[in-house]
Amino acid sequence: MSLLLLAIAPAMIIILYIYFKDKFEKEPIGFLFKNFLMGAIVSVIITFILSAVLNQFYPITDETSIFQQFINAFFIVGLVEEFSKYIIVKFYAQKNKEFNEP
């Protein structure tokens, strides 16, 4: 349980920082927590699905190949994870009426 709290603590600090630094029109704290949960749960599901699909097209056949590890780390893992977070921001957070400041 303490490891889970340690894993969540940086995100909670960032959420509280954003909430208290917002001077004009604060987003509700529930909206910020919901965004956090969407990023933590839904993006994992999207990442899992996209990784499974991409691994079908480009499976790692040689674990010792530096080139295959490079492709896997930067294109399959990196792009898929960042794309899944982008989907949450683009289609959930930015569409919400509470998200009204730059």
Block residue for tokens 């010792």: 64
The pLDDT tens digits for 49-94 are: 988 888 888 777 777 788 888 888 887 888 888 888 888 888 888 8
Cα gap 36→12, rounded to integer Å: 9
User: Using CA atoms, how far apart are residues 84 and 89, in angstroms rounded to an integer?
Assistant: 9
Spell out the domain ranges in the chain. 2-93
Longest dimension (CA), the chain: 55
CA distance 87 to 72: 21
* Mean pLDDT for all residues in the chain: 82
